[in-house]
Structure 1
Amino acid sequence: MVVYIVDAAEELGVISTTSAPFNLRKSIDKANNPQSILLEVTQNKGIFSTMVGMKQIDHIKENIQIFQRNFQYK
């Protein structure tokens, strides 16, 4: 039986965060659209939060714009 840590945490009610999404660099290298990869990793079931592209202010601004275009906040 395989138990994934994120699934186990969710079952126990533990909130999971990540600072290095799994295989993100490999996914971006293969993707034609890095923005779609960003949206995908931030919507993983069981992951509450992830830090992606936070080294430079320009990256943070670009990521915020991606989310503003793709999500409606109330």
Structure 2
Amino acid sequence: MNLRRARLNSGLTQQALAEKAGVAYKYYQDLEAGRLAGLTLATVERLSDALGIDAWKLFHPGAIPEPTRTKARSPQTHR
């Protein structure tokens, strides 16, 4: 399941996504860790809606690109 990748691309924390999707934080952590017991279509739809993506993308390998990591910019000094 591409849940972690989709969450990172959205810029949300686990807590924020859980709240936005209306699921318990611990339950969300379990889902992201691959423990999918009790996962329902309704939960998949709530998660995909919260992420702003189609539900099928959570299950299709390669449907969600790797999160891009931006290099931290060093503070600029003014002369």
Q: Do the two structures share a fold, i.e. TM-score over 0.5? A: no
Give the TM-score taking structure 1 as reference length: 0.26
- Using CA pairs under 8 Å that are at least 6 residues apart, name the structure with larger relative contact order, 1 or 2: 2
